[in-house]
Amino acid sequence: MLLLGSGSLIFGSTSLVAALSAGPEGSNPATTIFVVGAVLSSALHLSCAVSRFFRSPDGGGSRSVVISSIAAALLLASSVAVVAFQGALPTFLVPDGGMSAIARGLLAVAVATFGLASLLIASSWSRSNVLYWYSSALAMTAVGLAGVLLSDWVFEAVVFWVGRIALCLGGAFLAWSVRAAERVADRPNSVVAELFKATVTDAARPELFFRDGEGKDG
């Protein structure tokens, strides 16, 4: 859950800063912030997807750990912005030349990573509305970043606007996944159980399939 939240917070905050500083034709700092934020976010979301196969939903959370994770995510996003504005990173956007090779390469990595994370989550989305919308959000984010990559950061390109719309849909789907999680949050650890259903066998954890005293046959 912390990996999911941190990944979303980093991409959301870096995208906002990039949008506010891009200008009418885009800028190197804005492109750098957006691309680096996308890569970091994709790595965290992939870690979240992979962790479902190794972690157990047992155990309670710690408020201090949650606060520390949020603070670390915001600090990382802020650090990316500061370093980008100082020009300490390689050039990501060449004036009148589009994105540099390193920017295109990192963006392609982010597209592939978001897509892989979506596929890992999709393997069990039929058992959870939370996973369905989360997987859809990751998939739409991958499509959106692919549109940005294909446009070469040209705002007037049709594929760039298709990418932006896909990124907006990805954000909406992520919000719907949170809404779906709220619907099952009426008992302790229920949301965590939703995320980890695919990693627990029926025989080992039958209580995951019982709710308010009612069970499912089979």
57: which DSSP letter?
A: S
Q: Give the pLDDT confidence score for residue 11 in this predicted structure.
A: 95
- Look at residues 172, 173, 169, 166 and name the one whose alpha carbon lies nearest to residue 149: 166
Give mean pLDDT, residues 67-79.
92
Q: Give the pLDDT confidence score for residue 156 in this predicted structure.
A: 87
Render pLDDT for 151-188 as a digit per residue (tens, 0 to 9). 988 888 999 999 999 999 999 999 988 887 776 655 54
Render pLDDT for 83-110 as a digit per residue (tens, 0 to 9). 999 989 999 998 778 899 999 999 999 9
Which structure tokens are listed for 197? 């259903």
Cβ atoms of 30 and 21 closer than 8 Å: yes
Q: Kindly report the backbone phi and psi dihedral angles of residue 211, in degrees, each rounded to the nearest multiple of 5, phi listed first.
A: -145, 120
What is the percentage of the chain residues whose pLDDT exceeds 70?
Answer: 78
Q: Give the pLDDT confidence score for residue 207 in this predicted structure.
A: 42
Q: Give the pLDDT confidence score for residue 213 in this predicted structure.
A: 41
Write down the mean pLDDT value for the chain: 82
Residue type at position 13: S
Render pLDDT for 33-67 as a digit per residue (tens, 0 to 9). 999 999 999 999 999 888 877 755 555 567 888 88
What is the percentage of the chain residues whose pLDDT exceeds 90?
Answer: 50
Q: What is the pTM of this model?
A: 0.80
Whole-angstrom distance, CA of residue 126 vs CA of residue 146: 26
